[in-house]
Each structure stands twice: as structure tokens, then as C-alpha cells.
């Protein structure tokens, strides 16, 4: 679905109005296509810390060109600054000294990544400095423009080697609609834990089985397609009413399907039985199925409240627990919940929906350390989409839809594939120290945390 306003801003009249009235001017976002390089350009690296010396080699293994010196000509496609060595507020000026001289040399759709140490793992002035990195990256994300993004990655001491999959995602067009986010690597990991490995980076999920609920259309369909692209055998789950669409998609992807109501009393057991007997277990579990039943709380009846909580929160919790208790999630597996920006910032008329999606974040919080203690490399994380353009949002009244799309740093809505790419990063075996995270896929909304 095209963004008509974005198209208008590129016309001669649109350009004049944007300039004179200060209207949003959404940039064309680059998105990764199969076979393309991860980064089409050069990344400038700098900083002093635990990762500084290894960064060029790490990027080289990903096929990403890097330099420690700003080129005299040409544009840069990214910046990576190692701030793990900053131990006081006075040293934070190093962020400015590195960034300011080169910001005007960034190409459109550039990527900026700052690496830090989790503040909770240090004390005193160092903790102050490391926590300050969040303000820097979130603000720069709202300034940078031209479809570019800024992220902060906290890397726990000892987890440096596990940063590869995260850098690959955040420096590439796969993270087109992710900006202003804070990612933690190794903060919820068993002592001495290592990341998984893959034989073929173009198909990191080869030989893996991925369960996707609500898979027949919209975001769920794109999740299934991207996980299949990365090599997974996809098992799609949806309600019986969507059986024909689900079967058609799974046949196209050479996958498997199961039709049931995930809120059914025996749904967790049926899903577990199917995965065990047909696939010998599962590697990736994506709780995507969700519904809305909007009303202001004063008018909220039992059916609207109960159904949303049951589908969006209770079912994912029960299914996850059943699969874990039966030992069906393989080592280095990934569990991903689809939350929402509504669960973080709230939304008028969505107390039921926002409650359920905040609960998904709670599920991540409650299980992250438990999974780390198992020492199997299984992780649980969540994505929190903002305004994603789907058939459902296309039905939203025009004025509401326009406001929803423009109130973010990129002044536009995201696409289902943006959510899917974020989930694929979580599912990558190399992301097994990425545990307990909630990443917003919202173009860095101006409202909310």
C-alpha cells in the first residue's frame, strides 16, 4: 500500500509546501532484498573500549567495509562508536567529537550504532556515563533524518563475540523502521553462555522449525515469509475461519499448518503434540496472533475485555509454558512475543489491548532469567510495533491514520516486513545472548518511552 502523502512531498508543489510550512518530509526507506549486501557502503568506526580493536574484523566477517578515518570524498553509510570505555560524565564529549564532524557526510538511510556497557553492571561515575548514552542516541535518532537510524547496544562484559548478529541487523536495511532503541546483549544470560553458530549466513535458520500464530495474513504472513527465506520450516497456526488462506500460504512456503483457536482449553497441548510428532520439536516460537475490541473503559463489557486478554496474553503464556515444560523448544531456540507501542504508551479506547500487550512484555520479563538459568541458549524477547501499514490500518479514518503515521521520527508508517525482520534477528542462532529485550518497531515514535 503506497503512502500518498509521501508521494505528494516529492512533487514540485509538495516540495514547496513542505519547505514553507514545515510539513513532515518522509524519506524513502531502503529495505533489504535477498542477495543484496548487508551494507552498501562504508562504516566509520571509532571509540575506546572493549570492542574497539575487534570492530573492523567483526564487520569484515559480515562483508561490511569499515574505516577508522573519515574518507576525504564520498558518503558514509554508517557509524559505530565503542563507548564501553567511557567512565565519567566528562568523557561523554567523545560522542560529540566523533559524531559531529561526520554527520553531514552520512548518506541517506545511514545507520549509527553506539556500543556501551549495561549500566546495571557497573557503579559510580561509570554507571552515570553509561546510562547517559540512552539520551544521546534517542535524541540523535530524532535529529538525524533522511531515513537514517540510531541505536544503543549495551554489551555485557564477556559477551563481545555475540554482537555479530545484532550489528548485522542494526547496520543493514533490515532495521529500516527501528530507531532510538536500546538492545542488551548478555544482560540476561547464563554465566559462560555462548551464542549459537550457523553454517550458512544466507540461511541462518536452515534445518530449524518455526511456529507462527496468526500466520495467514498481515504481519503474520510476512513473519512466515521472512523466516522461510532464512531457511526455516514454518508451521503456521490460525483460526479455522482462515484455513484456506493459511493452507495456501504454507503450501507456497513448503511449510505445515494447524487450524485451531489458540484460546481453546486444549490448544497448548494440541500445538505441542503436533510439533513433537510432526517435527520433533520447535526452534522458533512467534506469538503473533492478536485481536482488538476497542471501547473506552466506561463502555467496556466482559466479552471485549476477556477475548482480548485471552488471545493476546493468556494463550501465549500457556502455549509457551507447555512447550517449555515438555522440553520441545530446542537448545538455542527463540521465543518472540508481539507486543505493541500501546502496551508502552497506552492508547485511548484500548485499555484491554494495552493491558494485554504490556502483559506480553511482562512475560518476557518473567521468563528471561529463568531461561538463562537453564543454560540451553533459549531466549525470549518481544517486538513492539507502532503504526504498521496493513489492511486493518487502511480501514482507519483518514485523519487518524495520517496522524498515526506522521508522529514518529521517520514521519511514516512501517511495513509488516519491518516487524518480520526484527523477529528474524531475534531468531538467528547468533542472537542467543540477546535475551529479555523489547524492541519497538515504530520509526521512533515521538510519544512513549
The owner of cell 510432526 is 278
Residues near 184 by beta carbon (within 8 Å), at least 6 away in sequence: 118, 153, 154, 156, 434, 436, 437
For residues 354, 355, 357, 360, the Cα torsion angle rounded to the nearest 10 degrees is 170
* CA angle, 38 then 40 then 41, to 5°: 125
The DSSP annotation for 404-421 comes to HHHSBTTSS-B-HHHHHH
Total residue length of the chain: 449
Cα distances (Å, whole numbers) of residue 45 to 72, 76, 109, 404: 15, 11, 17, 35
Which residue from 181, 131, 122 is spatially nearest to 157, judged by alpha carbons?
A: 122
Instruction: Give me the helices (H) in 28-122, please.
Output: 55-61, 93-99
Angle at 316 between CA 312 and CA 322, to 5 degrees: 160
8 A C-beta contact, residue 260 and residue 269: no
* 177 in active site: no
Q: Look at residue 257 and give its three-state secondary structure.
A: strand
* Interatomic CA distance for residues 279 and 256, integer angstroms: 10
- How far apart CA 81 and CA 79 sit, in angstroms, is 6
Read off φ and ψ for residue 149, nearest 5 degrees. -130, 160
Termini Cα distance of the chain: 28
Q: Is 24 helix (H, G, I), strand (E, B) or coil?
A: coil
DSSP state of 388: B
Query: Alpha helix (H) ranges present in 146-197?
Result: 164-170
Q: Are 355 and 337 in contact (CB under 8 A)?
A: no
d(CA 358, CA 360): 5
**d(C-alpha 212, C-alpha 23), whole Å:** 39
Catalytic residue among 154, 177, 353, 426: 353
Q: What residues are annotated to the active site? A: 353
Amino acid at each position: 500500500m503506497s503512502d500518498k502523502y509521501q508521494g505528494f512531498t516529492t512533487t514540485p508543489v509538495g516540495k514547496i509546501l513542505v519547505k514553507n510550512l514545515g510539513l513532515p518530509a518522509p524519506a524513502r526507506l531502503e529495505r533489504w532484498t535477498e542477495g543484496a549486501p548487508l551494507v552498501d557502503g562504508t562504516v566509520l568506526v571509532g571509540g575506546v573500549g572493549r570492542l574497539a580493536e575487534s570492530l573492523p574484523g567483526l564487520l569484515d566477517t559480515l562483508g561490511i567495509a569499515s574505516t577508522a578515518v573519515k574518507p576525504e570524498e564520498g558518503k558514509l553509510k554508517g557509524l559505530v562508536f565503542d563507548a564501553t570505555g567511557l567512565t565519567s560524565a566528562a568523557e561523554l564529549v567523545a560522542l560529540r567529537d566523533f559524531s559531529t564532524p561526520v554527520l553531514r557526510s552520512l548518506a541517506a538511510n545511514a545507520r549509527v550504532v553506539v556500543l556501551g556497557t549495561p549500566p546495571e553492571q557497573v557503579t559510580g561515575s561509570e554507571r552515570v556515563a553509561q546510562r547517559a548514552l540512552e539520551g544521546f542516541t534517542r535524541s540523535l535518532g530524532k535529529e538525524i533524518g533522511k531515513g537514517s537510524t540510531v541505536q544503543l547496544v549495551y554489551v555485557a562484559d564477556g559477551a563481545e563475540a555475540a554482537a555479530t548478529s545484532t550489528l548485522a541487523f542494526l547496520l543493514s536495511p533490515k532495521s529500516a523502521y527501528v530507531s532510538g532503541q536500546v538492545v542488551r546483549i548478555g544482560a540476561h544470560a547464563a554465566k559462560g553462555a555462548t551464542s549459537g553458530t550457523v553454517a550458512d549466513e544466507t540461511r541462518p535458520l536452515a534445518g530449524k522449525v518455526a511456529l507462527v500464530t496468526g500466520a495467514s495474513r498481515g504481519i503474520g504472513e510476512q513473519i512466515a515469509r521472512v523466516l522461510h527465506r532464512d531457511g526455516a520450516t514454518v508451521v503456521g497456526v490460525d483460526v479455522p475461519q482462515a484455513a484456506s488462506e493459511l493452507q495456501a500460504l504454507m503450501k507456497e512456503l513448503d511449510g505445515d499448518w494447524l487450524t485451531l483457536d489458540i484460546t481453546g482449553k486444549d490448544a497448548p497441548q494440541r500445538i505441542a503434540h503436533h510439533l513433537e510428532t510432526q517435527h520433533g520439536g520447535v526452534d522458533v516460537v512467534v506469538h503473533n496472533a492478536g485481536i482488538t475490541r476497542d471501547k473506552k473503559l466506561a463502555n467496556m463489557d466482559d466479552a471485549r475485555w476477556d477475548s482480548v486478554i485471552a488471545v493476546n496474553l493468556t494463550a501465549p503464556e500457556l502455549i509457551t509454558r507447555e512447550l517449555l515444560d515438555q522440553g520441545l523448544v530446542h537448545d538455542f531456540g527463540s521465543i518472540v512475543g508481539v507486543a505493541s507501542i500501546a502496551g508502552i504508551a497506552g492508547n485511548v479506547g484500548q485499555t484491554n489491548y494495552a493491558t494485554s500487550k504490556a502483559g506480553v512484555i511482562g512475560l518476557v520479563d518473567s521468563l528471561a532469567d529463568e531461561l538463562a538459568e537453564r543454560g540451553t541458549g533459549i531466549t525470549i524477547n518481544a517486538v513492539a510495533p507502532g503504526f504498521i501499514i496493513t489492511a486493518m490500518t487502511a480501514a482507519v479514518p483518514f485523519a487518524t491514520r495520517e496522524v498515526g503515521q506522521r508522529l514518529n521520527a521517520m514521519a511514516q508508517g512501517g511495513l509488516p516486513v519491518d516487524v518480520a525482520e526484527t523477529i528474524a534477528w531475534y531468531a538467528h542462532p547468533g542472537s542467543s545472548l540477546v535475551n529479555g529485550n523489547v524492541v519497538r518497531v515504530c520509526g521512533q515514535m515521538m510519544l512513549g518511552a
